[in-house]
Structure 1
Amino acid sequence: MSERTAVVLFTRDLRVHDQPALAAACSAFDRVVPLYVLDPALAGLSANRSRFLHQSLAELREALRRRGGDLVVRRGDPVAETIKLARKVGAEGIGLSADVSRYARRRERRLREEAERHRMFLRLFPGVTIVEPGSVKPTGGDHYKVFSPYHRVWQGAGRREELAAPRRVRLPDGVDPGRLPAPPKGDSPDAAPGGESVAQRRLKQWLPTLGRYDDIHDDMAGDLTSRLSPYLRFGCLSPLAVANRADDWTGPFVRQLCWRDFYYQVTAAFPQLSSVAYRRGATEEWRYDPQALDAWTEGRTGMPIVDAGMRQLRAEGWMHNRARLITAGYLTKHLGLDWRPGVRVFSRWLLDGDVANNSGNWQWVAGTGNDSRPYRGFNPVRQAERYDPDGAYVRRWVPELASIGGKAIHQPWRLPDEARRRLDYPPPLEVPGTDPTWLR
């Protein structure tokens, strides 16, 4: 009997533990080709994420080699390169983790068409989320538009079993694994490194603080959030495995993982989330002010808490979730600028930037998305006084204000008249427990 071969195309699932496509292929086939295709079309989107990606691929290659296999690396169009390799090794089929962005769905559609044309099968696997997009739906709709009812159903939804890493991965003979380029230089000097082992260490080190999560997650200076979001974005960690380690499906941290799933099911139903207002009839009367946008981007608006957040973003490729809400609210509700450039700025710098969470949260803050209270706002002075009461976060990232004491550090030191007027709008509708998350 001839040996059976399958290709596993890695995308945003760069791990060997709880990787359903890899586990299924290793169980059902004699030979497995783990493949990653570097798509030049994505190479210039974010230097930070490119570095993180290459670091994660290098770790994945080592993990596969320890199991007798390798990560085969190709460069070019993912569909063409996958089909070319699959034909060369005589593969029966291709495994792929399901994803929701327009890019991912277009890749899936083209790959399915080409696989069928060459008499192969394409099988999609879960793993990017905990509960698969579309697996729970409201009566009479294709997705949940409001988080709270989704969260209630999500908690009771059936979940797959977490899978162990395969013990052995066997490549077909004669396959050239290809060269993995050295990680490129990122833009943020203090960005976290990528990789599954780094992610697992981070999770293990952070878990002892989980019991205090509800008390510490909004402490901006304390910096005690998980910082797992980049590893979830690239699939260095399985979100299901993270939730299982937390072991509290009703707790506040797993609720943040649910927010992540929520935006994936929104994006699956509304793939243009990064460019089109989600809420029908949303008012979009934005100003055009490139100087204000530049000042916001570079952390020199004169609003200390906003500038601190934007400077952290540029230095680390990451920003505290509370700072993301404040900075996004400042751009849209105070400066009156369009949320779409904000999406692009965050996407350019964030290690965890993805279509679903980045765009979904931006639209929530801007009042064009899933928030049931679209006129909600975040007054930056009040937010700073509440979540950075002694100014330690601001002093860390805006050192020119280090000598200012007490709450005075949170007062704007230079602001355009337009922004000053906007600071006086009615108190924001802040409802405890309803804020979204970019995952912390």
Structure 2
Amino acid sequence: MSVAICLFTADLRVRDNPVLRAALKAADEVVPLFVVDDRVCASGFVTPNRAAFLADCLADLDSALRGRGGRLVVRHGDVVREVVAVADETGAGTVHLARDVSAFAQRREARLRRVMGGRVRVHDSVQVVPPGAVTPAGRGHFAVFSPYFRRWGRVRVREPLAGPERVPVPAVRSERLPGRADLTGGEPSPFLPRGGEETAWRRAEDWLDGPIDRYADLRDDLAADATSRLSPYLHFGCLSAVELTHRARAVGGPGAEAFVRQLAWRDFHRQLLADRPVAAHEDYRPRGDRWCSDDASVVAWRRGRTGYPLVDAAMRQLAAEGWMHNRGRLITASFLAKTLYVDWRVGARHFLDLLVDGDVANNQLNWQWVAGTGANTRPNQVLDPLAQARRFDPRGDYVRRWVPELAEIEGAAVHRPWLLPEAIRGRLDYPAPIVDLSANAARFRRARSGM
């Protein structure tokens, strides 16, 4: 009987999975393979939050495959070596995997091709619109979102694929599924969501069945918590971005349109990184910055002790949930990169340490967008956390949720605790502001202007 390998990477699902479907079409039996790559684990990218979520995803994927007569085959070690070993053990003629955009993923694919040649089949299963499907004349990628989105919206998106009824698997050795503690040391965030395709679609169905209608109006309202929270499931491929786009468009309305626009942003960053992988760690548009070295301020920022309640609330949400509201990400990133004028890579690394949806393309290029070294058409804009608080947390509910020291302060006064009477301030275990917003914003603009 003929055998094919389905190498799971960023697509940990059975529903609408072109890689799995292609492998099943190519052979009588399929090896659904996941390799715990020792180099990735040692690199620091598999942090406690992502390790815990990944373990959930793998257990859920194995359960889904067993429900179809199969199982997940797990190996540890170098991906290419393990794929070749499985191919030798089973006589597999082809190996199928998802196209991905990071420098690591591109090197992995190139190594597989060097060893296995034309037996490697790569499929688009991660994006809605694959990198390179829409390009500006004479260039390899769009550098500005608006024209990209106009072209993106005109692309005919493939129809979602049904999950297979059966996944016949040949006799092949498998190591045990890794548990949450097997992939890395350390404890995950206390309110980390559970991973896996089953949980993902339960959340997605709840989102599509009503809350998405309010997304256009409430997506920036920090206290409302009215975003989908589906980003971790998209990052691990528990959800198909293609199927989610179709489902959202079927709902229709301003909320669905705004949500689909966010999926386009995800593709935008991925097409940019696919064409320029070094943007993960080098300035996409260098500004000649001479970043400040301020360890004490960086520690205060990480701990949510800057003295600016909205910044601190968002940073504490990140620590507690392994996730942060998108508006919070913009505010905290601007505070570090522009108000403190600290290298964006410092903040991007901290976010990757904690975010369960920590994606190299989205995380690094969003940080560059905020820092003004990326694809932002307003690179010198500074987000004032007090102005942001007036707009997006006007009653202070979000701050009181995450900064318990200030929970008893009523209304918008919670955003300026330093203006409270001394008798009240003295009872608060909360720091004074670590910087002056106006002075630091002026410093940043002088630095950017070359003065």
Q: TM-score, normalised by structure 1?
A: 0.93
Q: CA deviation at 1:418?
A: 5.2
| Per-residue CA distance 1:4-53 (angstroms, 9 max, x = gap) | 11001000100000000101111231010000000122224311001100
Checking the alignment, whether the CA contact within 8 Å between 1:343 and 1:358 is kept in structure 2 is yes
Q: 1:406 to 1:423 in 2, by over 3 A?
A: farther
Match of 2:284 in 1: 278
Question: For 1:235, which of 237, 246, 261 is the aligned residue?
Answer: 237
Match of 2:19 in 1: 21
Match of 2:294 in 1: 289
2:5 equivalent to 1:7: yes
CA distance in structure 1 between the partners assigned to 2:158 and 2:245 by the alignment: 12
Match of 1:438 in 2: none
What is the DSSP-based 3-state SS (H/G/I as helix, E as strand, rest coil) of the residue aligned with 1:273? helix
Q: CA deviation at 1:135?
A: 1.1
Q: CA deviation at 1:404?
A: 1.9
Of the structure 1 ranges 146-155 and 374-383, higher mean CA displacement relative to structure 2 is found in 374-383
Match of 2:196 in 1: 195
Q: Please list, as runs of the form range in 1=range in 2, the aligned pairs for 1:250-261 lying within 5 A after superposition.
A: 251-261=257-267
Query: Given residue 325 of structure 1, which amino acid in structure 2 is its aligned partner?
Result: L
Match of 1:354 in 2: 359
What is the DSSP-based 3-state SS (H/G/I as helix, E as strand, rest coil) of the residue aligned with 1:251? helix
Match of 2:59 in 1: 58
Higher helix content, 1 or 2: 2
Match of 1:140 in 2: 138
Of the structure 1 ranges 410-419 and 328-337, higher mean CA displacement relative to structure 2 is found in 410-419
CA distance in structure 2 between the partners assigned to 1:371 and 1:298 by the alignment: 28
Match of 1:433 in 2: none
Match of 2:428 in 1: none
Q: Please list, as runs of the form range in 1=range in 2, the aligned pairs for 1:177-192 lying within 5 A after superposition.
A: 177-184=174-181, 186-192=187-193
Checking the alignment, whether the CA contact within 8 Å between 1:39 and 1:76 is kept in structure 2 is yes
CA distance in structure 1 between the partners assigned to 2:11 and 2:86 by the alignment: 20
Q: Please list, as runs of the form range in 1=range in 2, the aligned pairs for 1:33-44 lying within 5 A after superposition.
A: 33-43=31-41, 44=44
2:341 equivalent to 1:323: no
- Alignment RMSD: 1.6
Checking the alignment, whether the CA contact within 8 Å between 2:273 and 2:280 is kept in structure 1 is no
Q: Please list, as runs of the form range in 1=range in 2, the aligned pairs for 1:331-342 lying within 5 A after superposition.
A: 331-342=336-347
Match of 2:80 in 1: 79
Query: Given residue 350 of structure 1, which amino acid in structure 2 is its aligned partner?
Result: L
What is the DSSP-based 3-state SS (H/G/I as helix, E as strand, rest coil) of the residue aligned with 1:221? coil
Q: 1:234 to 1:186 in 2, by over 3 A?
A: farther
CA distance in structure 2 between the partners assigned to 1:283 and 1:149 by the alignment: 27
Checking the alignment, whether the CA contact within 8 Å between 1:277 and 1:369 is kept in structure 2 is yes
Question: For 2:401, which of 382, 385, 396 is the aligned residue?
Answer: 396
What is the DSSP-based 3-state SS (H/G/I as helix, E as strand, rest coil) of the residue aligned with 1:94? strand
Moved over 6 A (4+): 424-427
What is the DSSP-based 3-state SS (H/G/I as helix, E as strand, rest coil) of the residue aligned with 1:123? strand
| Per-residue CA distance 1:47-67 (angstroms, 9 max, x = gap) | 100110011000000000111
Checking the alignment, whether the CA contact within 8 Å between 1:102 and 1:271 is kept in structure 2 is yes
CA distance in structure 1 between the partners assigned to 2:336 and 2:435 by the alignment: 15
Question: For 1:364, which of 350, 353, 369 is the aligned residue?
Answer: 369
Of the structure 1 ranges 202-211 and 188-197, higher mean CA displacement relative to structure 2 is found in 202-211
Checking the alignment, whether the CA contact within 8 Å between 1:221 and 1:388 is kept in structure 2 is yes
Q: CA deviation at 1:328?
A: 0.2
CA distance in structure 2 between the partners assigned to 1:159 and 1:242 by the alignment: 11
Checking the alignment, whether the CA contact within 8 Å between 2:30 and 2:169 is kept in structure 1 is yes
Q: 1:123 to 1:426 in 2, by over 3 A?
A: closer
Q: TM-score, normalised by structure 2?
A: 0.90
Q: CA deviation at 1:426?
A: 11
Checking the alignment, whether the CA contact within 8 Å between 2:338 and 2:441 is kept in structure 1 is no
What is the DSSP-based 3-state SS (H/G/I as helix, E as strand, rest coil) of the residue aligned with 2:74? strand
Query: Given residue 257 of structure 2, which amino acid in structure 1 is its aligned partner?
Result: G
Q: CA deviation at 1:274?
A: 2.3
Checking the alignment, whether the CA contact within 8 Å between 1:8 and 1:22 is kept in structure 2 is yes
CA distance in structure 2 between the partners assigned to 1:17 and 1:84 by the alignment: 27
Query: Given residue 230 of structure 1, which amino acid in structure 2 is its aligned partner?
Result: P
| Per-residue CA distance 1:91-140 (angstroms, 9 max, x = gap) | 11100100000110111000111112xxx610100111000001110011
Match of 2:220 in 1: 218
Checking the alignment, whether the CA contact within 8 Å between 1:283 and 1:368 is kept in structure 2 is no
CA distance in structure 1 between the partners assigned to 2:310 and 2:95 by the alignment: 48
Match of 1:111 in 2: 112
Query: Given residue 258 of structure 2, which amino acid in structure 1 is its aligned partner?
Result: P
Q: CA deviation at 1:403?
A: 2.0
CA distance in structure 2 between the partners assigned to 1:388 and 1:425 by the alignment: 27
What is the DSSP-based 3-state SS (H/G/I as helix, E as strand, rest coil) of the residue aligned with 2:279? coil
Percent of matched pairs sharing the same residue: 50
| Per-residue CA distance 1:178-211 (angstroms, 9 max, x = gap) | 2012222642010001000000000011111111
What is the DSSP-based 3-state SS (H/G/I as helix, E as strand, rest coil) of the residue aligned with 1:156? coil
Q: Provide structure 2 residue ranges, at least 5 long, that are not aligned to the other structure.
A: 419-431, 446-451
2:427 equivalent to 1:421: no
Q: CA deviation at 1:424?
A: 6.8
What is the DSSP-based 3-state SS (H/G/I as helix, E as strand, rest coil) of the residue aligned with 1:95? strand
Q: CA deviation at 1:216?
A: 1.2
Match of 2:273 in 1: 267
CA distance in structure 2 between the partners assigned to 1:31 and 1:212 by the alignment: 45
Q: CA deviation at 1:423?
A: 5.4
Checking the alignment, whether the CA contact within 8 Å between 2:192 and 2:320 is kept in structure 1 is yes
CA distance in structure 1 between the partners assigned to 2:262 and 2:326 by the alignment: 11
